[in-house]
Amino acid sequence: MEKIQMVDLQGQYAKIKGEMDSALQEVLASARFVRGPEVTAFEEELASYTGAAHVVSCASGTDALQLALMALGLQPGDEVITVPFTFVSTVEVIALLGLKPVFVDVRPDIFCMDVTQVESVITPRTKAIIPVHLFGQCADMEPLLDVARRHNLFVVEDACQAIGAQVRFSDGSPHTAGTMGHIGCTSFFPSKNLGCYGDGGALFTQDGALAERLRLMANHGMRQRYHYECVGLNSRLDTLQAAVLRVKLRHLDEFTAARQAAAADYTAALADLPAVQTPTIAPHTTHVFHQYTLKLEGVARQPLVENLSAAGIPTAVYYPVPLHLQKAYASLGYRTSDFPVSEKLAQCVLSLPMHTELDREQIQYIVRILSQELQ
């Protein structure tokens, strides 16, 4: 059996090496390392894959979130509603821009924003909501968009973990993660479902004027060379990364199917184990399994993690401390028990190896050892 890894990028590269190497060689030969033709080609291909009218690439998922809030014209002191159970970037960019993060808790079943709590924290200063499509399934977007519409708020989707996931609205129409809000953000960090070989990110929008503004802001606010229309960032997707992503986008459906098959195998094998709860997929969304995350029930996590590790099974805890309890965000004034679901999840979640190269033998081994440990 191959050594089990949390994410296996070497195995994935070995399968696409021919295509990948020639794509990279082309960029090297052209020497157009910034704003080369692959960047525009990738943006167009990703727009067509997701159904977004416009895709604007940038240097990371974090930058995408920051650019989104900048382009929407949010002002210092404006409030942005999001969740404390997420990767730090979602909240970091709000704080960096002098905006105020306001949290609502997540749902215990799907780990995404509890939309029913949003209205109770809206104030006259609230300007935007950032739902996070955590671990690969989407937040409950239809009721959230409804709240946003009624209160005239922007919606910025953090789709960094959910590229290709789809929400079905009550009229039956499918909508891809990142294309439902005013702006959607994604990340191409190497371990993400569509990962490049370094940092990268992109923004989705249906609004042409907003796309134009995002493009401007991602390139120093510069339209005409050395003439600056607004304060911007240096946040571009390298041509080499765009070339990598064009190759991987052609395989994304297979990659997603491999993740979903691995998840289905895990879930079938772990269904009868009372000490773990396998992931719930909400009826409104598909799940692209960026992570396969269990909830442990009445099991001490640390010794389990150590025993699995000793048996050659890596695991990870996403995320061990919710953001409202982090030192960096203490000034927001939140306390323990303000968001009990996030706090409980931080203590009981455990993510198993999940990537495109997991095979049946590895999954059977993981499940066998895990079951023994939990007897």
Residue ranges binding ligand PLP (CB under 6 A): 60-62, 86-87, 89-90, 132, 158, 160-161, 187, 189, 199, 201
CA distance 363 to 341: 29
We find the least distance from the C-beta atom of residue 367 to ligand PLP, in angstroms, to be 26
**Least distance CB 230 / ligand PLP (angstroms):** 22
Residue 159 vs 294, nearer CB to ligand PLP: 159
Question: What single-letter DSSP state applies at residue 316?
Answer: B
DSSP calls for 209-273: HHHHHHHHHTBTTBSSTT-BSS---B---BHHHHHHHHHHHHHHHHHHHHHHHHHHHHHHHHTT-
Q: Nearest approach, Cβ of 324 to ligand PLP (angstroms)? A: 16
Check: CB of residue 206 under 8 Å from CB of residue 52: yes
CA distance 95 to 76: 9
Kindly state the smallest distance separating residue 318's Cβ from ligand PLP, in Å: 8
Which C-beta is closer to ligand PLP: that of 159 or that of 308?
159
Exposed (0-12), middle (13-18) or buried (19+): which is 186, by Cβ within 10 Å?
buried
Name the residue nearer to ligand PLP (CB basis): 182 or 192.
192
Q: 146: which 2 tokens?
A: 């409804």
Of 201 and 279, the one with the shorter C-beta distance to ligand PLP is: 201
| In the complex, least distance from residue 158 CB atom to ligand PLP, rounded to whole angstroms | 5
Q: Which is nearer to ligand PLP, 259 or 308 (CB)?
A: 259
Distance of CA 287 to the CA centre of its chain: 12
What distance in Å separates the CA atoms of residue 110 and residue 12, rounded to the nearest whole number?
Answer: 28
Residue position matching structure tokens 């990028």: 9
Query: Hey, how many other C-beta atoms are within 10 angstroms of the C-beta on 288?
Result: 26
Minimum distance from residue 296 beta carbon to ligand PLP (Å): 22
CB of 82 to ligand PLP, least distance (A): 10
Of the pair 57, 315, the CB lying nearest ligand PLP is at 57
Q: Which is nearer to ligand PLP, 19 or 92 (CB)?
A: 92
Q: How many CB atoms lie within 10 A of CB 302?
A: 8
Residue nearest ligand PLP by beta-carbon distance? 61
Among the listed residues 144, 142, 156, the one whose alpha carbon sits nearest the alpha carbon of residue 74? 156
Task: Tell me the CA distances in angstroms from 159 to 11, 89, 100, 226, one per residue in order.
Answer: 25, 12, 21, 33
- Per the CB < 8 A criterion, the answer to whether 8 and 356 are in contact is yes
In the bound state with ligand PLP, the residue whose beta carbon lies nearer, of 126 and 186, is 186
Nearest distance from C-beta of residue 209 to ligand PLP, angstroms: 25
